[in-house]
A = this chain, B = another copy of it.
Amino acid sequence: MNKQILLKSRPIGKPVADNFEIVAFPAELAKDGELLVKAKYVSVDPYMRGRMSDAKSYVPPFEVGKAIEGSVIAEVIESHHPNFKVGDAVLASLKWQELQTVPAVNVTKLAKNVAPLSYYLGVLGMPGLAAYLGLLDIGKPETGETVVISGAAGAVGMVVGQIARIKGCKVVGIAGTDEKTEFLVDKLRFDEAINYRTTKNMNEAIATACTKGVDIYFDNVGGEISDAVIANINKGARIIVCGQISLYNNTEIPTGPRPQAMILKKRALMQGFIVSDYVSRFPEGIKRLTQWLGEGKLSYQETIIKGFEKLPEAFTGLFEGKNTGKMLVEIE
């Protein structure tokens, strides 16, 4: 029987399994111009937490009692469109549902021989493009500069750090387990990595790691980690605000030291970045990222959880730092 995962209730604070419900869902019939597709890899992304609240944001909220939606790589099971055939792999914004119909114009056909298909949810998808465009367009890294990344072992952060290295920067990553910091230094060749959970004084740790100060801060996390990084910025620093995962579950507006005095003193730039604003640049980004992967300049890591019914667990795990690299769910 076809299955669907719906939003049972809006999370208050951290999302829990009980906010989701797996329900049986009738099969759909594809009409002319549509495809019947079977989900193969389903993405779980921190930004989706925002859609689970009722608040107006840059994407509309999910509705209670309706299916969660997100990025999915699916296989075409039945095609009613001349450009697609059975067995094609496609990427689309789809429901958390095993089988579903989708208008062919809403999907992107994926090349099967370039990289593992799942990469199109990560390094060759939104996270990789966010890293590429956010770092290069806002950060404008120069050789010899120091780049600090929070959430460095996540889907976006791990790519940011490697691109910064390609650009000749010193790269310092911040993550939440020793396994992750070792991964950053040993596998991704970051210059330094700091475990914020075991470090007592983050401000000092960043100052020690960044002997020449911080020129670029790529922020996926927000909160106190950002306070410590911002305390160490150089004149003319660029701060890319790409995510604030540490704050997404807050039920009140979080407070902290005001950053404006430091931004003024250092003539720094802080800019919010949402990758979907840069659609016209995606082909360029995918081309470069694919090239770097092929040349071995870019390593990639995924945390793949198997089984459709594990989707809520995979999603809630994001807020516990359970993933190294991109977190996704594979459907057998």
- B274 and A271 within 8 A (CB): no
Give min CB distance, A296 to chain B, whole Å: 33
A270 to chain B: which residues have CB within 8 Å? 260, 263, 269-271
Residue in chain B with minimal CB distance to A261: B244
A271 to chain B: which residues have CB within 8 Å? 263, 267-270
A265 within 8 A of B: yes
The A249-272 residues at the B interface (CB cut-off 8 A) are: 253-261, 263-272
A222 within 8 A of B: yes
- A264 and B277 within 8 A (CB): no
Residue in chain B with minimal CB distance to A231: B253
Fill in one digit per residue for A218-255: 1 if any B CB lies within 8 Å of its CB, else 0.
01001100100000000100000111100100000111
With contact pairs A259-B259, A271-B270 given, residues A241 and B254 touching in the complex (Cβ less than 8 Å): no
Give min CB distance, A324 to chain B, whole Å: 24
Q: How far is it, in angstroms, between the C-alpha of A254 and the C-alpha of B57 when the chains are bound? A: 28
- B269 and A274 within 8 A (CB): no
Contact of A241 among B241, B244, B260 (CB under 8 A): B260
Interface footprint category on A: 20 to 34
**Residue of A219, A241, A269 with most partner-chain B CB within 10 A:** A241
A257 to chain B: which residues have CB within 8 Å? 253-255
**Residue of A247, A261, A264 with most partner-chain B CB within 10 A:** A264
**Residue of A226, A254, A263, A269 with most partner-chain B CB within 10 A:** A263
A273 within 8 A of B: yes
Contact of A58 among B223, B243, B260, B265 (CB under 8 A): B265
Residue in chain B with minimal CB distance to A57: B265
Residue in chain B with minimal CB distance to A242: B264
With contact pairs A269-B271, A270-B270, A270-B271 given, residues A258 and B264 touching in the complex (Cβ less than 8 Å): no
Q: How far is it, in angstroms, between the C-alpha of A243 and the C-alpha of B226 when the chains are bound? A: 22
- B264 and A244 within 8 A (CB): yes
Q: How far is it, in angstroms, between the C-alpha of A242 and the C-alpha of B265 when the chains are bound? A: 10
Q: How far is it, in angstroms, between the C-alpha of A136 and the C-alpha of B315 when the chains are bound? A: 44
Contact of A264 among B253, B256, B267, B273 (CB under 8 A): B273
Q: How far is it, in angstroms, between the C-alpha of A265 and the C-alpha of B244 when the chains are bound? A: 10
Contact of A272 among B242, B267, B277 (CB under 8 A): B267
**What are some 6 contacts across the A-B interface (CB < 8 A)?**
A223-B258, A244-B261, A255-B256, A263-B272, A270-B270, A270-B271
- Listed in ascending order, the chain A residues whose CB lies under 8 Å from chain B are 57-58, 219, 222-223, 226, 235, 241-244, 247, 253-261, 263-274, 277
Extra 16 A-B pairs, beta carbons < 8 Å, given A244-B264, A255-B256, A260-B272: A247-B260, A253-B257, A254-B257, A255-B255, A255-B258, A259-B259, A260-B270, A263-B271, A264-B272, A265-B272, A267-B271, A267-B272, A267-B274, A269-B269, A269-B271, A270-B270
Q: Which 7 A-B pairs have the closest CB atoms?
A: A264-B272, A263-B272, A267-B272, A270-B270, A269-B271, A241-B264, A253-B257
